[in-house]
Structure 1
Amino acid sequence: MIPMPKAQETVLEIDLPALKHNFEYLKSKIQKDTKFLAVVKAFAYGSDADDIALYLQDLGVDYFAVAYTSEGVSLRNAGITKPILILHPLPISFETIIERCLEPSIYNRKVLDEFLKVASDKNQIKYPIHLKFNTGLNRLGFDLEDLETIYSKISTSEAIHIKSIFSHLAASEDIKEKEFTEHQIKWFKDITERFTTVFKYKPLLHLCNTSGILNYPEAHLDMVRSGIGLYGFGNSEKENKNFVPIAKLKSVISQIHHIAKGETVGYNRAFKSEASITTATIPIGHADGIGRQYGQGKGFVIINEKKAPIVGNVCMDMIMVNITDIDCKEGDEVIIFDSAHTAENLANAANTISYELISAISQRIKRVIKK
Structure 2
Amino acid sequence: MTTSADPTPTHGISTAHEFIKGDRDRFYQPWIEMQQALAEQRRTDRPDLQTWGPFDQAEPDPVPDAVADIDRDLWVRDAASRRWHLRYSEHGSAGGRAQPAPWDKLVLEYGPVTAAPPERLALLPAPKKRRKGKALPAIDPVLKLRLPAPGVPVVDVLFRRWLPTEGGQYQSLRVEETFTPEALAAEAGPLRGQGFPEPDDERALTEPVAAAGPQALLVAARALQDTATRLEGILPVDQETAMRAGRTGSWESERLGELVWASRVDTEGHPVPAGMVDVLFRWVTGGPDRTRPYVELAENLADLWAPAFDAIGVTALSMEPLEEIGLADARDLTRGVPGWLLSRTDGFHNRL
User: So what's the TM-score if we normalise by structure 2?
Assistant: 0.25
Give the structure with the higher percent helix.
2
More strand by share: 1
Higher relative contact order (CA 8 A, sep 6+): 1
